[in-house]
Every structure is written in structure tokens, then in C-alpha cells.
Amino acid sequence: MTRTPTALLSPADQERRRGLRVMKGVALGALLFMAAVFAVSFSLQQTLPWAAYVRAAAEGGMVGALADWFAVTALFRHPLGIPVPHTAIIPRRKDEIGRNLGEFVETEFLRGDVVRAKLEATPIAERLGAWLVTPANAERVVGEGSAVAVGVLRALSDDDVRDIIEGLAREHLIDPEWGPPLGAWLSRILESEAHHGAVDLGFDSLSAWLTANRASFAGLVSRRLPAWVPSIAARLVDDTVYTEAVRFVAAVRADPRHPARGAIDGYLDRLAENLQHDPVTIGRFEDAKVAVFDSPRVRELASAAWHTAKAGLLAALEDDDSALRRRAVVAVTEVGERLMTDAALQRRVEGWVVDAAVFLVERYRHDIASIIVDTVERWDPEETTEKIELMVGRDLQYIRLNGTIVGALAGVTIYAIAHALLG
């Protein structure tokens, strides 16, 4: 059979040809080794009784190697060029093999359950993540996505968007009751004493303000005193008030158990409790919330914010060097990194891909399988034989090697049983 020149083969086929030659050499080497062992042990078996067992093993190994060589070779060509019946099976039945192969692939491989099982066992999301972390690929994704986003933004109706925003705000901000959840949240903060840091910060800020604003106490009390009070006494009153305020704040800052701190804790405890269980407090809080979030002014601000955001988005999306586009490239890269590491995200993405692939396979599997049949029919017999041999020939050489080993074991076993029974 004329073989395709190596230069015309694909890199994968070249690698397969090298692997096939190596395995053929290994199988032939095993046969030659058994022949050499047989020759040596045959000459020594008269003087060394154990050599007969070695001879029997080598003899069985040669028989097994030759039998499997004939079986493997008969698939692709006539052994030694002799046209033995039922040999050269592949070149003689090429078209039939192609049709059977196409039918087999269609019925056994291009099935929804098979494709689903295979894809579910393949790390699709991880490989997609590896593709996205490449900078050129991330920029391409952002460019295509920006073009789509610009088209969508220009097609959106501002009135519809405003209605949607108002509906979402009412559903998620205005209608739900905030008091009990906020009270529960405040209770957890108080239980963990996480609010102490905020209290400390408040008194620290008050101390800094007192230090920097002593003049604010001038006349704070003295202006309310009778006119007949001497001015020096009035100043003394103001200074006393300021000094006591400074001392009070310093005492609170220095003493973690100061009564003022306890008063603050008590107030916060009562507030958390009332927000959860007191209808009056809850009602007042809800009224304040509605007044803030459901006012016409807020809706006007939301509408203006949408128009501003839309104009900014359009400008940024259409500018290849905008900060948004650059940040989007970084975000796509981060998505790729998450796809490589986040198991939950991988499962979601792979579920979408698997469902789409199963749909396509079940709908078009016959058309896909026909590619195999048409391609094999266009091949000539020698080309078909070589391609199939390159695909499976290396593995078939293991049959020759296994035949050598099994034949050796069978030969020595048969000889040992016969020697034990017959002497």
C-alpha cells in the first residue's frame, strides 16, 4: 500500500504515525525476544530441566504474537501480500464501513443523553474562562458587547424606563416595611457591641470640635443673664460651661462604663425594640420613608438621573478608549478568572451550554452523521486504510504485545499441567 508522504500529513497524523511505528517496533521486539529465548532454552532443556518451562513459555509467546500479528494486519492489508480470504477488510469494505460508522455515530454518539453526559463531564466553563482571560479575547468581547448595548440604549423608550424604575422602587423600597428588619439589624449590632466604635468616633469628633471652637461658647449663657451681672462674672459662666463640656466629653472618652454611654445604649435598645414591635414608632418611620422616596421631587431626580446616565453610557460605549470600556475589559477578564475558580458559576454556565448543545444534536444529528458517510465515500481505499490505521493502529499493536504475553503464560501453564499429569 502506498503511504502518504509525511510532509502532507497533519501534525496530529504525523504524531500518530510516529507512535504507530514505535508500537510496531515494540511488538516485533517482543516476538524476536521470545524467539531468542526459545532458541536458548530449547538447546538447554536436555541438561537443565527447568529450561523446558522457559521453552514452553517462549513457544506460546511466539504463537500468540504471530496469531495476533496476522489478525491485526488482516484488518488493513493482505498479510505478506498473500490474498488470504477475509483479509484486507477495511479497503474492501470501505463504503460499507463508512455507512455503518455514520449510522453508529448517529445512533450511539449523537444522542441527547450521550451528549449531555459527555458535556457535563467536560470543564466547559473553565476552558471558557481560560479563553476570556486572554487580553485580546476580552477586548473583542467588550467591543461586540458595546455595539449591542448602544443599539439597545437607543431603542429604549425613556418613558418606559421611568415607569420601570418607579415600579421597581415601589416594589422593593416603598411597599416593604423597613422598621422591623432595621430594628432586628440594630439589635444584632447592639448585641455584638459593634456600635461602640461609632460612639467612640462621635465623642472623638465632639472633643475635636470643642477644642477648635471655644469661641462658640462666648455669650452662650452670659447673654441670657441680667444686665446688672458684672461682665467678668458672665465670662466666668461661659468659661465654666465650656470647661465642663470639655471635661464631660473627656470623661466619657476615658471611661468605657460612663453613664452617658449607658444612656446611649439604653436609647438604642429602646429604638431597636420599638422599630420591631411598637406600631407607633413603625408607623412614624414608614411615613418618613414614604415622604422621602415617594415624593414627586424624587421621581423627577430619578428621571433626570436616567437621562444623564443614558447620555454618559452612550458616550462611553462608543469610545474605544473610555474608562468604561477599559473597566469592562478588566471585568471580562475577572469573569474568566471566576469561571476558572467559582464552582457555582461553572455549574450554571455549563447547564446553559449543555441544554443548547443537546437541542442542536437531537434536531440535526442525521445531517451531522451524513458528513462521515460522504467523507469516507470520497476517500480511496488506500487513503481510508491509512487514516483508520493511524487512528487505531497504535492501540491495535498492544493486542500483539498482549498476545505475546498471554501466549507465553498459556504455553507455560499448559506445559506445567501436562508435565504434572503425564510426567
Span of 9-23, 207-221, 352-366 with lowest mean pLDDT: 207-221
Q: Where is the domain boundary, 320, 341, 362?
A: 341
Judge whether 358 lies within some domain: no
Please give the pLDDT value at position 185.
Answer: 86
- Whether the model clears a pTM of 0.75, i.e. scores above it, the answer is no
Same domain, yes or no, for 134 and 46? no
pLDDT of 4 strictly over 60: no
Interval 190-200: pLDDT, tens:
888 888 888 88
Whether residue 221 sits in one domain with residue 73: no
Residue 383 and residue 279 share a domain: no
- Residue 153 and residue 393: Cα distance in Å, rounded? 58
More confident of the two residues 197 and 5: 197
Across the range 21-26, mean pLDDT stands at: 90
Residue 409 CA to residue 58 CA, distance in Å, equals 9
Q: Identify the domain containing residue 251 by its residue range.
A: 125-341
Banded model confidence at residue 301, pLDDT cuts 50, 70, 90: low
In a domain, 349, yes or no: no
Q: Same structural domain for residues 182 and 252? A: yes
Is residue 285 assigned to a domain? Answer: yes
Average pLDDT value for residue range 26-49: 91
The answer on 214 and 317 residing in a single domain is: yes
Cell of 326: 477599559
Question: How many folded domains does the chain comprise?
Answer: 2
- Position 34 scores a pLDDT of 93
| Length in residues, the chain | 423
> Are 179 and 275 within one domain?
yes
Name the pLDDT band for 392 (thresholds 50, 70, 90): confident
- 58-67, 71-80, 108-117, 369-378, range with greatest mean pLDDT: 58-67
173 and 292 co-located in one domain:
yes
Residue 104 falls within a domain, yes or no? no
For the ranges 22-26, 313-317, 385-389, the maximum mean pLDDT occurs at 22-26
Q: Based on the domain organization, do 143 and 200 belong to the same domain?
A: yes
Q: Say if residue 324 is in the same domain as residue 398.
A: no
* 205 domain-assigned: yes
Average pLDDT of the chain to the nearest whole number = 82
pLDDT value, residue 380? 77
The answer to whether residue 282 scores a pLDDT higher than 60 is: yes
For residues 257-266, average pLDDT: 88
- Domain-ending residue, one of 341, 365, 392: 341
Instruction: Give the whole-number percent of the chain exceeding pLDDT 90.
Output: 10
Same domain, 282 and 138: yes
Q: How far is C-alpha 92 from the geometric centre of its chain's CA atoms? A: 48
Find the mean pLDDT for residues 345-367.
85
Higher pLDDT, 219 or 291: 291
Question: pLDDT: is 51 or 342 the higher one?
Answer: 51
Give yes or no: residues 287 and 390 share one domain.
no
The average pLDDT across 253-271 equals 88
Task: Over range 164-190, report the average pLDDT.
Answer: 77
pLDDT attached to residue 100? 85
Q: What is the mean pLDDT of residues 390-417?
A: 88
Does residue 272 share a domain with residue 208?
yes
pLDDT (tens digit per residue) in 68-119: 888 888 888 888 788 888 787 778 777 887 888 888 888 888 888 888 888 8
More confident position, 291 or 29: 29
